[in-house]
Each structure stands twice: as C-alpha cells, then as structure tokens.
Amino acid sequence: MTVEYAEIYSVEEALDFILEKLVEEGRRSGLRASKGGILQGIGFHMDTPYLLAEGLLKRGIIFRVKDKYALTETGEKLVDYVVRTTILIKPYSLFPELDSGKLLGAVLYAFYDWTNTKSAEEILAVAEKTYRLIQEIKSRSIEAFKLIAVTLPRLYFEDGKYTPLTLIEKVASMTG
C-alpha cells in the first residue's frame, strides 16, 4: 500500500512548525523574532519558504508524529547552528536593532542545500563548518568578518554560484 504525499504531511504546516521552532529557540537565546520576520528572511520569492520546508521534510530534518511535527536530532542541531550563527553575525549586520527574525530566516536559507544533493547530515556539517570558520575569521580579521556578517544573509543562494562556504573562502582570499 502506498501513501499519498498529501496524506503524509502538509508543507504549510511544516513551514509553520519550523517558524515556531525558530521563534522559540531564537527568543530563548535573546533574539527578537517573529514568524513573519523569519518568513521575510527566508527567501527572495514567495514560494521559497515552502520549497525550503518541503526540502526539510524530504530530508528528514522535520518529521510528523501522529498529528504533530518534530525535529530529528539532526534538525535540532541545525536549528541550534542557525541560532548561534545569527547571534554571531547580528551585531555586525545592517540595522540589527530593526531585525525581527529576518536574520534567523536568512541564515536558515543560507544553510539549506538549494542544489538538493545533500543529506540532512551534510547540511548540518556545512552549518557547523560555516559557524566555526566565521568564528575563526572574526578572530583573525574583523573587516573580513563584517563583510561576511553583512553578505551572508543577503546572498541569493538558489542560483548555485555561492554557498556559505564559498562566500567565506572568497572573503578570506580577498583579505589574505
């Protein structure tokens, strides 16, 4: 017996779940966040948040248990790195006092694999490595770090030209 896609989950419900989770974890860490703010930060097109939520479901980062959604262990760690990276770059982003969760959404958007080739574990590994490299660059060159902090949440990652790691490599090569 096959189960139809629509019977398994709703992309809208999954999107609402990840927004709620980011609001909860962001606020717990001292970030001012709203679902609407995070949604604005997720993408450049109206369908981008839905595509991201669908991909999180398909990769098993979010799953459904009975009538509720939950994060896998990998999903919980990914959300943690999204929050930690946001906290790291927020003071150096443009107009941090006006952020209402946009940076949380933008960082999730940046970490998501828009090539659709990475597993949940690979996406998490990129998030971990990105966070670690941003910390290293901050300790070596505040100017390079500021460039990353401003650029990371504003790049269009869906075109495949940049990933968070290629952005860091490019900035690092420019600063020596």
pTM for the predicted model, two decimal places: 0.91
pLDDT tens digits, residue range 106-163? Answer: 999 999 999 889 999 999 999 999 999 999 999 999 999 999 999 999 989 988 888 9
Give the Cα separation of 110 and 43 in Å (integer).
9
Tokens 């860091």: give the residue.
168
Chain-centroid distance of CA 135 in Å reads 17
pLDDT attached to residue 7: 44
Give the Cα separation of 115 and 122 in Å (integer).
12
pLDDT attached to residue 6: 43
Short-list 69, 88, 71, CA closest to 138? 88
pLDDT attached to residue 5: 42
